[in-house]
Structure 1
């Protein structure tokens, strides 16, 4: 089975909704190149970024009246993939073999999601999306030189707070990770509840240190969600979702979606805080060897402690669903 076969049955984010405008957009997912474009009604579509005529990148072309036009010979393709025009032969009616294998794009969580195998959308749940009291916004995209599973595992890891994020999400006086509960299944992914961490500044609006209650969920191989409630704040649980496009086995594109109390801070401040936290993580992530997440001891032996319950559960989840892309 190809390494990407299981991964192709999930929907993955490939671009921010606002990134796809009037002209084609090139993206890469699971080591394959795709072209995105909008039809005359503004509906987004995707297809392999290769013209069936001479293999030219269609993303170098343009959109004409909602149809994708190849930059080489001007062949045009409709939203359903049909080749509608071969300019060099005006009377020619292109057969189905001259068309593209288009795939629908699904807008959700401020992103465009692509399921490579063409099945029904398989989107990760983000429960905070339905809470209309919370303000939602996305960060910029981050390009990271490591596998998507490595990034998810780091997101679940609380033991690094006191070292990588000292003065922000942890400090040297509170290194212990209290026990918490974890459940894992092939159908529902990973759920960690009862997590706690002492944080000097748990969010941009925090005025001092506090114990923070965390819950984590991994609803899909490349998505993770945390919801947290600082001590003394009973009215709100803010959430952060991590959504990853597995570009290649060892390259990823990352977005964060924040769901926070209204008026907590300006959007630029919220993004700046998240940028600080993730750019502390990024060099550590990119230093890990191997870059693919080891699921067995065959390639790379990694030892564990009881503080690693969530990451151990995540590795177990990937084995349960037989995911290979980005693992070893």
Structure 2
């Protein structure tokens, strides 16, 4: 599936930029689903996003500056508001600004310390993570980086219980025990589905330190929630009561590239487990995934007949079926590489 060729994917929210990256008066650029966008903070401190092409002579608006909460083009000084409407043309002294002086404006908001953008009318809200508001959990920023892999390959991998003992053999996987336990439950939700299962993992020294245990092996109880199309939460519960909840979004830059956005929440304290150590362990696991995923074919098919499958692929197959149904319900067919 080529994500840039499926218009319905524009109707979902995606995290595109850490709020901290938007400096006062300075716009930033991002490419979402093949669409270049310009981002900035308006005069009220709210994020704004519009198409990153001036309607006059196509200069990149993200190369301009923010003046009185509006974005001024670096070429001829035209200014645009958060709706994409041109509100000032320095060369027009008396005449009113034509209504055609307009660029596309996009839904834009701030949540979880990130700027989120939706290029069309949203079909679903931004994923809800109750633990963010729970005072028993601390919020830990982890990763913001570009991967050369498609969102569908990434999100399938996030629900694949069979790869861990091989891909993560240097962190927590056990190649001597390659058969994953059966999935306990998969329940459809309004935004995708919820999957519950457990897995026995090895504990390297850093993980023993992070969990405050000495056991060589541990049973993880996992609750994975899919937020269509390319985001998930993974809530890991350990026998000693520690909860490690990871949010990951694979924001689609284009057909071949995704922006990884990841943060986690923990119900312990800095004194019990240092954030730097938690990030270091998740860093190793994440890079192990990246090494393999960036070798995969970005044009992942929704039709399951094109690839071979096994029992543990059930979540990925459900994703493909649900995405195919989404396209069909909006009068679209899957677009593939020629």
Change (3 A) 1:275 1:67: same
Task: Indicate the residue corresponding to 2:17 in structure 1.
Answer: 15
Residues 1:27 and 2:30 are matched in the alignment: yes
- d(CA) in 1 for partners of 2:250, 2:113: 13
Task: Indicate the residue corresponding to 2:231 in structure 1.
Answer: 223
Change (3 A) 1:320 1:284: same
Residues 1:130 and 2:136 are matched in the alignment: no
Residues 1:71 and 2:82 are matched in the alignment: no
TM-superposed deviation, 1:325: 8.0
Deviations 1:217-273 (A, max 9, x none): 102211011111122x23x42211111210001110001110112224333222222
Gapped regions of structure 2 (runs ≥ 5): none
- d(CA) in 2 for partners of 1:291, 1:81: 33
Alignment of 1:158-169 (within 5 A): 158-169=161-172
Question: 1:185–1:320: 8 Å Cα contact kept in structure 2?
Answer: no
Residues 1:81 and 2:88 are matched in the alignment: no
- d(CA) in 2 for partners of 1:127, 1:187: 16
Q: TM-score, normalised by structure 2?
A: 0.88
Question: 1:165–1:280: 8 Å Cα contact kept in structure 2?
Answer: yes
Specify which of 239, 245, 256 is matched with residue 250 of structure 1: 256
- d(CA) in 1 for partners of 2:43, 2:317: 47
Residues 1:47 and 2:50 are matched in the alignment: yes
Specify which of 161, 181, 194 is matched with residue 197 of structure 2: 194
Task: Indicate the residue corresponding to 2:247 in structure 1.
Answer: 241
Change (3 A) 1:140 1:228: closer
Residues 1:153 and 2:156 are matched in the alignment: yes
Change (3 A) 1:25 1:325: farther
Change (3 A) 1:77 1:95: same
Question: 1:186–1:321: 8 Å Cα contact kept in structure 2?
Answer: no
**Bigger shift: residues 114-123 or 79-88:** 114-123
Task: Indicate the residue corresponding to 1:302 in structure 2.
Answer: 307
- d(CA) in 2 for partners of 1:121, 1:91: 44
Change (3 A) 1:195 1:319: farther
- d(CA) in 1 for partners of 2:4, 2:276: 42
Secondary structure at 2:210 match in 1: coil
TM-superposed deviation, 1:216: 0.8
Specify which of 321, 324, 328 is matched with residue 319 of structure 1: 324
- d(CA) in 1 for partners of 2:319, 2:185: 10
TM-superposed deviation, 1:141: 1.1
- d(CA) in 2 for partners of 1:265, 1:258: 13
- d(CA) in 2 for partners of 1:182, 1:188: 17
Question: 1:249–1:326: 8 Å Cα contact kept in structure 2?
Answer: no
Secondary structure at 2:158 match in 1: helix
CA-based RMSD: 2.4
TM-superposed deviation, 1:327: 7.0
Deviations 1:83-118 (A, max 9, x none): 222112222321221123322311112211111014
Q: TM-score, normalised by structure 1?
A: 0.90
Secondary structure at 1:280 match in 2: helix
Question: 2:230–2:249: 8 Å Cα contact kept in structure 1?
Answer: yes
Specify which of 259, 262, 268 is matched with residue 269 of structure 2: 262
Gapped regions of structure 1 (runs ≥ 5): none
